[in-house]
Chain A
């Protein structure tokens, strides 16, 4: 527990810095805001305690909220909701053996590109929908919000997909 805890803490730090110093600063216009930090939650091992995943999600969201000048709680609630939905999405894309093999970080390699893409797409779409609904906080100009969600989600999925191929497979080799 302790060992993995500190490793994950390092990962958390890495993703928060990556998001706030790189991806939030990209000059991409108003409609695309990629949020790649969700990969941290998405790549936690399948068998990892669901309670722990929720707590990590809370911590991640909070850090991102603080470091990207956004509404306190917007990233948090979106990330936590995604973390809660994670096992259900995983059930769709993994076999029973996969779920028992639980020490590995979830990556493109050990899930298979197609399943992995489905997995992150569903999760990111959910996350972005919640985030942008909170961020715009109105149903007034709904097409605008939908555009925000779709464009940003597409880019996030792309980034997360490629980022994931750079990730180590198991957390034993996770810290360098």
Chain B
């Protein structure tokens, strides 16, 4: 018995090491990102305030690009507007209603962002006070940005699309085939669209859009362009998609809230009973 104690005493450093490692591993296993982000809310709040300050300084340096983007967007919107003005909506009313009335949008500014990790996160300057809730989609007009994972009063944490454990339901615009689009953690301008069966006609240059099936993002938001494709593992294509969004330059984003989510969820839970 004494020997055992002596042994323990002699290798107490090793045991401490083991204990700490086990705690750390336990934390890794326990902390699905969702839970850990929830726990860290209060820390994030302080951090976000810091980042907002830093960001406000950084913004001065990118004003030029931002102006260009805004001008471009203005231009696009003006085109759409002119279309509506030219069409007599009292006559062709039913055809041209707002496209997705099921979604409400909130504008937000990115105050912290990263693209250089395997699990990237984004902080937005909107939160509970702006009716932002977890699981809402975040997008720009040429791509998906991510999904809200947790909110505080004034800030929201977004799991970026550039996060290797998240997938977006996407669709090939021309052929209509859909499958999960995910980032493989390599280059932040490319993502992979998988589970497209081989009989589908895929061509380089095809547009990839959101499918709208997940009720997180409205359908038909352009995400990327097919860059190359190959058959991988069985009958499916693995399609390399060049993303339209420059994640490094994200500034203004839109948070989409699906207004009928509760109803859809209810339906889902009924079928799974």
Contact = CB atoms under 8 A, between A and B. Distances in A.
Contacts of B232: none
Nearest to B39: A72
A15 to B, nearest CB: 16
B47 A30 contact: no
Nearest to B44: A69
A61 B235 CA distance: 44
A72 B31 contact: yes
A84 interface: yes
Nearest to A17: B50
B20 A54 contact: yes
A135 to B, nearest CB: 5
A129 to B, nearest CB: 15
A32 B116 CA distance: 7
Contact of A26 (B31, B116, B164): B116
Interface residues of A, number: 38
Nearest to A26: B116
The interface size bin for chain B is 35 or more
Nearest to B31: A72
A21 B43 CA distance: 14
Contact of B119 (A26, A71, A76): A71
A51 B164 CA distance: 36
B118 A136 contact: yes
B28 A73 contact: yes
A148 B116 CA distance: 11
Interface in A17-70: 20-21, 24-30, 32-33, 50-51, 54-55, 57-58, 61, 66-67, 69-70
B141 interface: no
Contacts, number: 96
Interface stretch (B90-98, B182-190, B218-226): B182-190
Nearest to A152: B116
B119 A66 contact: no
Contacts of A30: 115-117, 185-188
B186 A76 contact: no
Nearest to A34: B116
Nearest to A57: B20
Contacts of B184: 141, 144
Contacts of A24: 114
Given A27-B248, A30-B116, A58-B20, A71 B31 contact: yes
Interface stretch (B11-19, B127-135, B199-207, B257-265): B11-19
B161 interface: no
A29 B187 CA distance: 8
Q: A51, A58, A72, A136 — which one has the most chain B CB atoms within 10 A of its CB?
A: A72
Q: B20, B33, B54, B117 — which one has the most chain A CB atoms within 10 A of its CB?
A: B20
B21 A67 contact: no
B119 A70 contact: yes
Interface string B62-95: 0000000000000000000000000000000000
B21 A80 contact: yes
A81 interface: yes
A94 interface: no
Contacts of A77: 21, 24-25, 28
Nearest to B113: A25
A76 B25 CA distance: 9
25 contacts: A20-B47, A29-B116, A30-B186, A30-B187, A33-B117, A50-B13, A54-B13, A54-B16, A55-B16, A58-B23, A58-B24, A69-B157, A70-B117, A71-B28, A72-B31, A73-B27, A73-B28, A76-B23, A77-B28, A80-B17, A80-B21, A80-B24, A83-B17, A144-B184, A144-B186
A-B CB proximity, top 7 nearest:
A73-B27, A73-B28, A77-B24, A72-B31, A76-B24, A69-B121, A84-B17
Given A69-B121, A71-B31, 13 more contacts: A21-B50, A21-B54, A29-B116, A51-B13, A71-B119, A72-B28, A74-B28, A77-B24, A80-B24, A81-B17, A83-B17, A135-B117, A136-B185
